[in-house]
């Protein structure tokens, strides 16, 4: 993109979660482990491993263990795809994120923010 050539700051939208791709196989493996912290539904999606404090995801009430299955109506099956959808959405955009939480599916509205430069 031309932005780099002009010396403009490239802005990366983010929501503030650490995540991993979930598959039915991985869920089953987790559920068969007696030391698992929680049982996971055996579905394809993106498991929220950690919600960083003071981030858009935290403000929106996302929780560790949520499984993201959709962003703005687009089904999400892996972490790379989710990252790309967030990146492409732009900054300060409200995303409707459908999460599976236990047996419920719920919508969380997250406003993307610009990623501060990691120090």
pLDDT the model gives residue 71: 96
Q: Tens place of pLDDT for every residue, the chain, 119 residues? A: 555 566 666 678 999 999 999 999 999 999 999 999 888 999 999 999 999 999 999 999 999 999 999 999 999 999 999 999 999 999 999 999 999 998 899 999 999 999 876 55
Alpha carbon 116 to its chain's center = 18
Dihedral of the alpha carbons of 56, 58, 63, 64, in degrees to the nearest 10: 90
Listing DSSP states for 53-103 in one string gives TTSHHHHHT--TT-EEEEETTEE--SHHHHHHHHHHH-TT-EEEEEEEETT
pLDDT the model gives residue 38: 83
pLDDT the model gives residue 15: 96
pLDDT the model gives residue 43: 96
SS (H, E, C) 6-62: CCCCCCCEECCEEEEEECHHHHHHHHHCCCCCCCCCCCCEEEEEEECCCCHHHHHCC
pLDDT the model gives residue 12: 84
**Domain positions in the chain:** 12-114
Q: How many CB atoms lie within 10 A of CB 14?
A: 19
Domain 12-114 has CATH 3.40.50.300: no
pLDDT the model gives residue 62: 97
């Amino acid at each position: 993109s031309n932005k780099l050539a002009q010396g403009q700051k490239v802005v990366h939208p983010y929501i503030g979660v650490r995540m991993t791709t979930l598959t039915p196989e991985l869920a089953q493996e987790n559920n068969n482990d007696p030391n698992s912290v929680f049982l996971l539904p055996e579905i394809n999606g993106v498991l929220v491993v950690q919600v960083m404090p003071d981030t858009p995801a935290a403000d929106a009430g996302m929780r560790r263990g949520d499984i993201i299955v959709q962003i703005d109506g687009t089904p999400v099956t892996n972490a790379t795809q989710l990252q790309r959808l967030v990146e492409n959405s732009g900054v300060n955009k409200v995303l409707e994120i459908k999460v599976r939480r236990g047996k419920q599916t719920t919508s969380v509205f997250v406003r993307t923010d610009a990623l501060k430069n990691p120090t």
